[in-house]
Amino acid sequence: MEFRTAGVIGAGAWGTALAQVCVRAGLDTTLQAREQQLVETLRATRANDLYLPGVPLADDLKFTADLADLGDCDVILAVPPAQHMRATLTGFAPHYRAGVPVVLCSKGVERGTMKLMTEVLAETLPDAPAAVLSGPSFAGEVSRGLPTAVTLACADQALGEALLNTLSAPGFRPYLATDLVGAEAGGALKNVLAIACGISEGRQLGRSAHAALITRGFAEMTRLAVAMGGQAETVAGLCGLGDLVLTCSSPQSRNMSLGLALGQGQTVEQALAGKRSVAEGYESAPAVRELAARLGVEIPISEGVAALLAGEIDVDGLIDGLLSRPLKAERV
């Protein structure tokens, strides 16, 4: 299998960064944005100051607002927000060529259906071989070529190896896995947990509380992934633990910055006001909560965050609820 052209759907910060990776990997790359005005700005300025300010874009990178222009690409990277994945792929369906692999690069659980992005792909583009790209990666750093390692999950070993070689670029190192569910579950839950860590930081609860949230959050992530059919070993890698540590440790994370604002006393509405980029944890929290309840999995930190975002409790209620839980043995 040889891939020479790549289409990247979604010109937010992460989609733009991945388009940069594709160019560095030697692929003829087209980045698709929904807004024609943004496309014209990208072409004129060779920069995406709306979502990824201060990063010069590769001279060879092409731009379009028309999904049809990606129909001839050898590989597709799908990077719309998770809650828009279904509509985006449905719009792309008339232009899709059967057999072209689709690499899913958005993290979250679809609200209403509680489905992972691979399930959404299977329903919208049933002839598409699926892969999942997930791991500790900030868009600004990736776009500049700073060293980054991620998980590339693909059930088809041969296809996975081909994609691994295709997307490997200077500063960008993917590791192959075959467990798509584990890769997706880790990426979906870590955003919700990052909100909790941001709240802790905003309330100045200390580094001990921060470490406890990451550790017990990782236990929640592992339990949910296994209940969904994933493997604990996958979640212990870059797409789970690695992504969790990064997202929960820096205000560069949109999800942690949301939690930071909440911990400092802002309302959810105030914390979200004026934000162009989506905090996936806010969008996915209700679906994650409902999914865990359906599977009978305890995720007290994530459930508490979902309740807070829904206005059912306040920050003090979230903290008190976690600290007053019955004492028990430590286990995953």
Residues making up the annotated binding site for sn-glycerol 3-phosphate are: 107, 135, 137, 190, 243, 253-255
Residues annotated as catalytic are 190
| Dihedral angle over CA of 228, 233, 234, 238, nearest 10 | 140
- Residues 197, 312: Cα–Cα separation, whole Å: 19
- Percentage helix, strand, coil, to 5, in the chain? 50, 15, 35
**Distance set, CA 279 to CA 82, 87, 200, 262, 282 (Å):** 10, 19, 17, 13, 6
Tokens 């990776």 sit on residue: 21
Is residue 81 within 8 Å of residue 50, measured between CB atoms? Answer: no
Is residue 63 within 8 Å of residue 11, measured between CB atoms? Answer: yes
Tokens 């992005």 sit on residue: 117
Question: Could you tell me which residues are annotated as the binding site?
Answer: 14, 34, 51, 107, 135, 137, 139, 190, 243, 253-255, 278, 280
**Distance set, CA 214 to CA 134, 137, 246 (Å):** 18, 17, 10
Is residue 187 within 8 Å of residue 133, measured between CB atoms? Answer: no
- Residues 82, 138: Cα–Cα separation, whole Å: 17
Is residue 315 within 8 Å of residue 199, measured between CB atoms? Answer: yes
As a whole number of Å, the end-to-end CA separation of the chain is 40
| Phi-psi label, residue 311: left if phi above 0, alpha if psi -120 to 50, beta otherwise | left
- Residue 29, H or E segment: strand 28-32
Is residue 102 within 8 Å of residue 130, measured between CB atoms? Answer: yes
- Among candidates 212, 104, 207, which has minimal Cα distance to 152? 104
